[in-house]
Amino acid sequence: MRSTGFLAILLCFICMPLFVKGEGNIINNTDKGTTDPVIEFNIDTIQKKVLSMNLSMNVRYTTIVEAYIKGYVIRNRPKSQKILGKTLLYFPIFEEKLKKRGLPNDLKYLAVVESALNPTALSRVGAKGLWQFMPETGRDYGLEISDFIDERCDPYDATDAAISYLERLHEKYDDWALAIAAYNSGPGRVNRAIKRARSKNFWKLSRFLPKETRNYVPAFIAAAYLIEHHETHQLEPEYPPFDFQLTESTMVYHTLSFYTVAQVTGLALDIIRELNPKYTDDFVPQSIHGSKMVLPSRVMTAFKDYLTMIKPDPGMDLSMDGVPVYATTPIDVDLQSFYTKSIYTVGEDDDLDELSQLFKCPKHCLVAWNGLQNRELVRGQDLILYQPKEFKRFSMRRDDVKVPAGIPAPGLKSLHSGLAHTTSGISSQQVDNMLYLFYELKMGESLQEVLIKYPNNTIQDLIKLNNLSPENPPLAGTKIKVRKL
């Protein structure tokens, strides 16, 4: 289909020199100036494990397969642990869709080779997403790619497209090794290699393929080995924060800025972006069919509160000027602190599906948190659970407006009397900023329509606050002072 560039990067790692002790079975992972421990790499054991893997193709253990495995388990261990952690987010999506289409489960490993499970990965030739689609191929398989949306970055849509493409390639070759090779380089090169080798056996025709495609199936085998046997090499998954594990989605029909989402939910922009990678310009464009918005479960209630509040006027100004927005999560904020850990003792008839529904927690998270090798539970077994400490709600009521640290809130008497200053030491300007805002009248908009948006005002309030009269009526574009919600 295209050259990704990620294979070339991995080759840089596997071509670096190794320090070998004994008979080549122990590798020293010590960089200059560090004292990392010696890591075992028993070639005979690894070869047996590779050849025993139940993959959908004829598996061989070659020097290239070995080199890729060394790249994963020796030279680039931190990246490998991140990949293992991200399987928690994306493999359940792949597995469900592959199962529905009746395709081999191990095809999920292809995304490891393609993008290292990075949904916004971009190759040097323009391939993008978990499955590294070029724009024209992506559009051929139904992906929207525009100025504001790139569905190549959407884990669900891109996976559907990738599965359709792989299914078509397998129908053509009736061989998954050839289908995977064609996914990398396109059917044309594979067809020419078949013709020159007079064989449809990948291992016999591979020498007639371009170098990257020749190494592609070995890289796939190595990725499968990493996922299935990482414990052998003391590799521990680096799971993402719970804000990325425990999520929900809802549909948005009107244009919505990520900036507003951040104000409503209290999330930093980088979290919103990472959970919604298909939106390219920090906003959800308007769509009569609706666009999916993914957010942590702990803030989804607040977001739905907001969507309900702005119906039927999505352009309503809720005036959250005082709410800070962070591009990235502040270093003093521990995302894990929003969650609580608890222990559940398994009952006689409990199973993972029922517990997943009971605790509203994805089944694959229960498996990962508890290191379950199989999905069968035993009575009396303790299960670790993580759940949000609370679910955020959204309200524009006055008593929910936060006052900056160090400035005491004005008393109730001051709030309603509109006194210029109070005994608390707050200046009249500070009180004004907390209680009022300026709203710009639109063409043809009446004061009654303003009251619908700001219902804690009255006509008398608006007249008094803005010195209005029949001789001094408000005009379109006039900024009038109103009480905050």
Task: Please report which confidence band the pLDDT of residue 415 belongs to, taking 50, 70 and 90 as the band edges.
Answer: very low
Distance CA 260, CA 214 (A): 48
Contact status, residue 394 vs residue 264, Cβ threshold 8 Å: yes
Residue 36 burial by Cβ neighbours in a 10 Å radius (0-12, 13-18, 19+): exposed
Q: Please check the confidence at residue 249 and state whether its pLDDT lies above 80.
A: yes
Question: Angle 14-20-24 (CA atoms, 0-180°, nearest 5)?
Answer: 90
Catalytic site residue 114? Answer: yes
Percentage above 70 pLDDT, the chain: 81
More confident residue, 379 or 483: 379
Whole-number pLDDT of residue 311: 79
Residues of the chain with CATH 3.10.350.10: 335-388
At 318 the pLDDT is 65
CA 370 to chain centre: 22
Q: Where in the chain is the domain with CATH 1.10.530.10?
A: 6-144+152-233
Using CA atoms, how far apart are residues 481 and 456, in angstroms rounded to an integer?
13
- At 145 the pLDDT is 97
Look at residue 244 in the predicted model and tell me its pLDDT. 97
Q: pTM to 2 decimals?
A: 0.75
pLDDT score recorded for residue 242: 96
Model confidence band, residue 25 (pLDDT cutoffs 50, 70, 90): very low
* Residue 55 reports pLDDT greater than 90: yes
Catalytic residue among 66, 95, 96, 114: 114
Look at residue 396 in the predicted model and tell me its pLDDT.
Answer: 62
pLDDT of residue 5: 52
Give the H or E element holding residue 354: helix 352-358
Q: Which fold has domain 335-388?
A: Membrane-bound Lytic Murein Transglycosylase D; Chain A (3.10.350)
In this predicted structure, the answer to whether residue 88 has a pLDDT above a threshold of 80 is: yes
Number of H helices, E strands in the chain: 22, 11
Highest mean pLDDT among 63-72, 305-314, 386-395, 419-428: 63-72
The tokens 């609706």 sit on which residue? 290
pLDDT of residue 398: 36
Q: Is the pLDDT of residue 256 over 90?
A: yes
Region of poorest pLDDT, from 106-115, 134-143, 373-382: 373-382
Could you tell me which of 155, 393, 123, 157 has the C-alpha nearest to residue 274?
155
The predicted structure's pLDDT at residue 405: 28
Is the predicted pLDDT of residue 29 greater than 60, yes or no? Answer: no
Under the banding of pLDDT at 50, 70 and 90, the label for residue 414 is: very low
Q: Are strands 436-440 and 479-483 parallel, antiparallel or unpaired?
A: antiparallel
For residues 56-80, average pLDDT: 96
- Least confident span in 18-22, 24-28, 289-293, 298-302: 18-22
Neighbours of 270 (CB within 10 A): 14
Quick one: pLDDT at residue 427?
43
Residues 418-473 have pLDDT tens digits of: 322 233 333 445 446 657 788 888 887 777 778 777 776 777 677 778 887 666 77
Residue 252, judged by CB atoms within 10 A of its CB (0-12, 13-18, 19+), counts as buried
Average pLDDT of the chain?
A: 83
Least confident of 93-102, 153-162, 241-250, 353-362: 353-362
Confidence band of 37 (pLDDT split at 50, 70, 90)? low
Compute CA 43 distance to the chain's CA centroid, rounded to the nearest angstrom. 36
6-144+152-233 belongs to which CATH class? mainly alpha
Mapping DSSP to helix (H, G, I), strand (E, B) and coil, where does residue 252 land? strand
Q: How confident is the model at residue 185 (pLDDT cuts 50, 70, 90)?
A: very high
